[in-house]
Amino acid sequence: MTEESLPKPPSRSAPRGTSAKQAPAKKGPKPPRGERPARPARPDRAKAEGAARPKREEAKGRPAADKRKAKTEARRGEERSSPSRMKRARLFREESAGSGRRGGETKPQSPRAEQPRPRSERTEEEPPRAHKAGEPQRIAKLLARAGVASRREVERMIAEGRIARDGAVIDTPATILTSLKGVTVDGKPVSAPAATRLFLFHKPPGFLTAAKDPAGRKTIYDRLPPGLPRLVPVGRLDLNTEGLLLLTNDGELKRQLELPSTGIERTYRARVFGDVTQERLETLIEGIEIEGMRYGPIDANLERRTGRNGWVEMKLTEGKNREVRRVLEHLGLQVSRLIRTAYGPFVLGDLPLGAVGEVPQHDLVTFRKTLR
């Protein structure tokens, strides 16, 4: 093989991967900068330039960050202005008042019920409307205001024929009177209503909240000190429940304090035995149904725990019969002691067992202004 038949190596000046025969042709001299022709723009890029670029800038720029910041500030504002747990529970109860017990479907309302009720012209600083002297009222309300008994008890007394006026027995609680002049109960005249008074009583365990007991058991009136006016209890405490019990000489005030619609909060402390967690107690905030009985929202907190023994604080606004005990027993807990520590703004505090303290008159007036 001669040197002429051997293939020539590729030229060093040619690009890698190409032979000297395939080397690109050299371009001519470049025109000056000012004389270069403008590069034609691609039509599809020119069309999308006005829409795509603003979207990329919006995605990478301030608008998205400002939107996230606005959402964060709104959420924090809602947290700061959110009501307490008991208020949220009250709103939940009011919203679900028309819902079914089991199905959860809202009952259809009549067109009249859907219409908003007119707001009262009375401001929050003004006290609730009081009946003027000489204004016609039902006899049950007048006797309750005089401290004879509650309205329901007065109606029972009327049915039993124990109430009369000018010697004639009153046979209907719908009797309208302007005063109690000539009215007698069990043959004794009824005096004019005295000034409203409210007392705090530290009820000991083992006493019934009743005027008398057919079985002969002791009642709270056997423990009250002498010299007090005729008082009626606000609500009831079980035989073995101790703590704060309100007493008043005004049957109308008694009724206002007992109604769940006023939203007055009752606070209890229970000593329990059993396994319980705070997470399980917090489920009571939405209410609970036990054996067909529906109980409203309860704010329950586990104060302290030693082994299987612990103290639970419970706040509620209804106060049904044995409500606290039944709810705790439903959770598998045994209640060994139950104390009511507060009723609305009135606190048991350091009041000794079996002692009585009177609420100052100016505090009572201020409190009655807040009642709905």
Q: How many CB atoms neighbour CB 253 within 10 A? A: 23
Which of these, 66, 37, 251, 49, lies nearest to 150 by C-alpha position?
A: 251
Q: What residue type is assigned to position 13 of the chain?
A: S
For 70-92, give one letter per residue: b (16+ CB within 10 A) or e. eeeeeeeeeeeeeeeebeebbee
Contact present, 280 and 300 (Cβ < 8 Å): no
Contacts of 326 (CB under 8 A, 6+ apart): 290, 293, 295
Residues annotated as catalytic (active site), given as ranges:
238
